[in-house]
Structure formats: C-alpha cells, structure tokens
C-alpha cells in the first residue's frame, strides 16, 4: 500500500487514477465545514429550527470535530468525511442532539447512538458518574441521565469517532476501508459497520461533504 498525503483538492484530481487512497488530515477548517454543511454556516441558523437548544452552528461543530480527530487519532480523509456525513444525516445538520423520532430514551449525540452504545460511551468517559446514575436502576430517566453526560459538544461530536475506533475498528486505519473519495466504502460502513439503514439521502450528503473536506 502506497501512502500518499495530499490535499483534498489534489486528491480529487488523482482519485480517478486510483492513487488517492489514504490521504490524511489532522484538522478541518470552518470554511470547509461551511461548504460541507451549508445549513449551519451562519451562527443564527439555529434560531429558526424547532430545537434551538440542541442545535449547534458550524462554528461550534468545527472545534468539537477537530478535538475528536485529535483525541481518537482519526486522520484518514475518507474516515473523517464518512463520520461528518453520518452525523449530518443523523442529527439533521446538527439540529438534534437527542432522538426525537420516535423519542427513544437514552438515544443521542450527533451520531444518534442507540442507548446501549451511549451507556458504553458514557462509562468510558465518565465511569463514576455513569455508575452512580445507573445504580438508581435502568429506568428511562436513568437512560436519559446517562445520555446527558455525553451531550456536550466535544463528547457529542466525538461519539461517531469513538464508535469507529472502538466498535467498528475493522474500518479504522485500513487501506481497503473508508478510502478517500469512495462512496461504496461509505455505504459499506453505514450498512455493515454501523448497522444502520441505507437511504439515498445519505449518499447526497456524503457527496457534498466529500466535495468540501
Ligand atoms: C473541547 O476540546 C478542546 C480541544 O481538545 C478543549 O480545548 C476544550 O476545552 C474542550 N471543551 C470542553 C468544554 O471540554
């Protein structure tokens, strides 16, 4: 496997030749994120949604995403594009931080992890707090309280990265998974790595993000 580190633009140019497989980046810019997720380019975009308290503009998202890139060591461009695309779909462009449809207790973060993963994530970051909350019993309130531990920006935008590295490691840092610019690899990750349903709007989101990052 040849390791090539190039910018996204030159990557796009050589992608057709099959050379652009593992280009890396250690941070994204606000300009890139605004192009990827135009709905949240403006800081005031969150005031017109139905859940303003849960909504984050790109100016907040970019810091949290870059924090997760560094924390989890996810630097392959194809992985970053995939995780941003997944989060944009699941949270409706950072509008939601918890599940509303149908409103499953304990489900949330920008990746909208199911409660079983939220519990593992919270236990890994805040073991004593999570254990204390769960000692009260496995009620829906307890599930929501565990979720509340990981809804801050860094943790909420970080959960997709945590999941990739810890729960779907076969897709992380591999030369033949989540390759840069590869839509089939993205679909493979969504369907087989995450176990989520496919929907063509996931592809259009990925196209926009892939063209921007
Ligand atoms: C989020 O992460 C960044 C970078 O790691 C850090 O500087 C910042 O303090 C964190 N924010 C919170 C609220 O923990």
pLDDT (tens digit per residue) in 74-85: 999 999 999 999
The answer to whether the beta carbons of residues 84 and 41 sit under 8 Å apart is no
State the CB neighbour count (10 A cutoff) for residue 33: 24
C-alpha 22/C-alpha 177 separation (Å) is 10
The pLDDT score that the predictor gives to residue 137 is: 79
Dihedral sign of CA atoms 134, 139, 142, 143 in order: positive
> Which has the closest alpha carbon to 68: 86, 81, 82, 80?
80
Question: Which tens digits make up the pLDDT trace of 24-37?
Answer: 999 999 999 999 99
The token duo for 67 is 């924090």
State the CB neighbour count (10 A cutoff) for residue 127: 10
Å from CA of 155 to ligand 1 middle: 9
- Residue 17 contacts by C-beta under 8 Å, 6 or more apart in sequence? none
User: Would the CB of 75 count as within 6 Å of ligand 1?
Assistant: no
- Residue 87 contacts by C-beta under 8 Å, 6 or more apart in sequence? 94, 110, 111, 157, 160
User: Would the CB of 67 count as within 6 Å of ligand 1?
Assistant: yes
C-alpha 150/C-alpha 39 separation (Å) is 24
26-212: CATH topology is Lysozyme (1.10.530)
Ligand 1 atom 4, closest CA: 67
User: Would the CB of 152 count as within 6 Å of ligand 1?
Assistant: yes
The pLDDT score that the predictor gives to residue 63 is: 98
The pLDDT tens digits along the chain (213 residues) read 334 444 444 455 444 444 555 599 999 999 999 999 999 999 999 999 999 999 999 999 999 999 999 999 999 999 999 999 999 999 999 999 999 999 999 999 999 999 999 999 999 999 999 999 998 877 999 999 999 999 999 999 999 999 999 999 999 999 999 999 999 999 999 999 999 999 999 999 999 999 999
Å from CA of 154 to ligand 1 middle: 6
C-alpha 61/C-alpha 36 separation (Å) is 12
The answer to whether the beta carbons of residues 39 and 137 sit under 8 Å apart is no
The answer to whether the beta carbons of residues 70 and 165 sit under 8 Å apart is no
Atom of ligand 1 nearest to the CA of 66: 4
C-alpha 207/C-alpha 205 separation (Å) is 5
User: Would the CB of 24 count as within 6 Å of ligand 1?
Assistant: no
Å from CA of 151 to ligand 1 middle: 13
The pLDDT score that the predictor gives to residue 6 is: 43
Atom of ligand 1 nearest to the CA of 153: 13
Q: Classify residue 96 as exposed, middle or buried by CB count within 10 Å of its CB (0-12, 13-18, 19+).
A: buried
Question: Which tens digits make up the pLDDT trace of 2-51?
Answer: 344 444 444 554 444 445 555 999 999 999 999 999 999 999 999 999 99
End-to-end CA distance of the chain: 23
Å from CA of 72 to ligand 1 middle: 14
The pLDDT score that the predictor gives to residue 2 is: 37
Q: How far, in Å, are 50, 53, 117, 119, 125 from residue 146 at the CA level? A: 24, 19, 11, 7, 11
Ligand 1 atom 9, closest CA: 154
């Amino acid at each position: 496997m040849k390791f090539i580190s190039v910018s996204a633009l030159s990557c796009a140019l050589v992608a057709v030749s099959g050379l652009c497989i593992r280009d890396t980046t250690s941070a994204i810019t606000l300009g890139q994120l605004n192009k990827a997720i135009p709905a949240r380019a403006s800081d005031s975009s969150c005031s017109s949604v139905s859940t303003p308290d849960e909504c984050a503009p790109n100016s907040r998202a970019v810091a949290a995403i870059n924090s997760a890139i560094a924390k989890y060591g996810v630097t392959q461009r194809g992985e970053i594009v995939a995780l941003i695309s997944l989060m944009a779909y699941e949270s409706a462009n950072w509008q939601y931080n918890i599940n509303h449809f149908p409103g499953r207790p304990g489900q949330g973060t920008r990746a909208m992890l199911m409660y079983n993963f939220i519990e593992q994530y919270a236990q890994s970051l805040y073991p004593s707090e999570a254990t204390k909350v769960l000692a009260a019993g496995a009620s829906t309130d307890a599930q929501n309280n565990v979720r509340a531990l990981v809804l801050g920006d860094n943790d909420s935008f970080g959960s997709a990265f945590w999941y990739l590295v810890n729960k779907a490691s076969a897709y992380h840092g591999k030369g033949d998974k989540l390759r840069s610019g590869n839509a089939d690899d993205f679909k493979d990750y969504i369907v087989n790595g995450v176990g989520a349903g496919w929907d063509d709007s996931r592809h259009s989101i990925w196209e926009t993000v892939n063209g921007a990052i």
